[in-house]
Amino acid sequence: MHIRRIHRRTPIESWTRPRQRARTRTMAAALLSAAALLASACSSSGSASTSATVATSAGAAELAALPRTPPSALAPYYDQKLTWRECGVPGFQCATMRAPLDYARPVAGDVRLAVARKKATGKAEPPGSLLVNPGGPGGSAVDYLQQYAGIGYPAGVRARYDMVAVDPRGVGRSEPVQCLNGRQMDVFTETDMTPDDQKETDRLVGEYRTFAEACGTHSAQLLRHVSTVDSARDMDILRAVLGDPRLNYVGASYGTLLGATYAGLFPQRVGRMVLDGAMDPSLSARRLNLEQTAGFETAFQSFARDCARRADCPLGAQGSTPTRIADTLRTFFQKMDAHPAPTGDADGRKLTESLATTGVIAAMYDKAEWEQLREALHAVIKDNDGAGLLVLSDSYYERDADGRYSNLMSANAAVNCLDLPSAFAGPEQVEKALPEFEKASPVFGPNLAWASLNCTYWPVRAAGEPHRIKAKGAAPIVVVGTTRDPATPYPWAQSLARQLSSGRLLTYVGDGHTAYGRGSACIDSAIDTYLLNDTPPAPGKRCS
């Protein structure tokens, strides 16, 4: 999948300032999509604890619930006491929690997880904690809590709950997966993702191999134990350590897979759970990548229609058809492939086709970024200045001005490649699939098809497989889907809501990735009412 990013973090809303919103969305929402550039699975032994949780039921793989009472070997983790301390951000406290590196062998050692909280601002006794996760995989939940959720969620929610976040294992402050350094990541992100000949294909494959080998070298032991199942089990330890009988949770993008997995493993411990921008766990990596490709095409068509109504549209005259605008964008990408544009970057980077494509994709996550995208495209098409698109691309990858990258992309690949077998076995399969991907998206199809190759060379064999999540016996779970969501297409939310025995679908008819806090009073009211009063939205509720 081309996630990341989504952040990769979670819904970026009207509750934040526009520039902060753009930064957060590309860090979070995009996370899921970064998976395309880095995502799926491959080659040696995986975590036994992960595969053991997937059972076969009536001919279909289904996530099996764990015993209600944790095994005695896990008692030291469930009984631990957190030591809270100030952590440099006013109003927030931080702690370190221990979890077993390998749930199948707790004696094998610990992984230390970073936890943060902001106490409820109201005077009434809180009903418990509200755990938040912005997505990814690879997005820092602690950063998300401190930079947005803990100060930007509705006042009523913050008054009622202790707001809590934990960086999943391998992410951010929780013993992060390490792969390439900054300069190596620059080379990786600039690599041509639409090879025109065997030489370019070999170079792309070489970069995927280099990335995978670096992860295997620097994080060999951790790579086998960063699955979504592992992180969901960590969440149950945190729930117990916080003293909460049930887990209250809001997850966005990949965070919905994490939340749904928790519900499947611990259905009796589900409290008030919101899954916004839902993923479908029953799909293979290839299906996920292909359907996400179609999702980005849907989002681009919406952007193109909006652009065509404006006099400043850089991709065509006012009144141009979306097809004409798409043709212009493809021509622009081809130009960047042949002659990358200068950017004025301190490290001498130019705007390659790959970076330009990532910049455009980054803006598809949030309609509020369309103006910035138009300005960036105008600058490079009219003036050969690629700086604006490079800024969008860097925000997607979480690259700072000093050339340092967060571990977003490393963790993204590590989790995705452990969760599912690779979409393709080699470049020959990608070439055969190109027509299907190009049909799904004439604009992004080739790029996203080749991006689906990233887990083919992963040093650790996938421990998971596609499966359904029923979570029989769980309290009502609100699944939110946006009809023109690029990174988590609306059919995924429909599917997850049907799979969950207590799923309740809430639909946002609109653009962008995720829905909560994006300006729809209808969506926000429905979710806030559920979180505060335990009253889920009516079946089939739709908002715009």
Active site amino acids: 253, 485, 513
Q: Are 447 and 334 in contact (CB under 8 A)?
A: no
d(CA 354, CA 13): 28
Which token pair is 398?
Answer: 């979480």
* Rounded to 5°, angle at Cα 110 from 108 and 114: 160
Q: How far is CA 219 from CA 24, 224, 226, 366, 455, in A?
A: 27, 9, 11, 34, 16
d(CA 58, CA 290): 27
Q: Is the peptide bond before 126 cis (omega within 30 degrees of 0)?
A: no
- Residue 246: closest CA among 481, 460, 534: 534
Q: How far is CA 475 from CA 240, 244, 270, in A?
A: 18, 15, 6
Count of all residues that appear for the chain in the document: 544
Q: What is the DSSP string of 441-500?
A: -TTTHHHHHHHTTGGGG-SSB------B---TTPPPEEEEEEEE-SSS-HHHHHHHHHHS
**What sign does the dihedral 198-202-203-205 (CA atoms) show?**
positive
Q: Could you tell me which residues come within 8 angstroms of residue 428 by beta carbon, excluding any fewer than 6 positions away?
A: none
d(CA 112, CA 222): 12
d(CA 494, CA 511): 17
Helix (H, G, I), strand (E, B) or coil at 180: coil
d(CA 292, CA 262): 24
Helix (H) or strand (E) holding 218, with range, is helix 198-218
- Residue 535: closest CA among 521, 544, 525, 522: 525
d(CA 275, CA 494): 12
d(CA 320, CA 305): 8
Which token pair is 45?
Answer: 């032994």
Q: Are 473 and 268 in contact (CB under 8 A)?
A: yes
Q: What is the DSSP string of 186-203?
A: HHHHHS-SS--SHHHHHH
* 63 DSSP β-pair partners: 54
Which token pair is 279?
Answer: 């993923």
Cβ atoms < 10 Å from Cβ of 342: 15
Helix (H, G, I), strand (E, B) or coil at 107: helix
Q: Are 266 and 240 in contact (CB under 8 A)?
A: no
Q: Are 41 and 419 in contact (CB under 8 A)?
A: yes
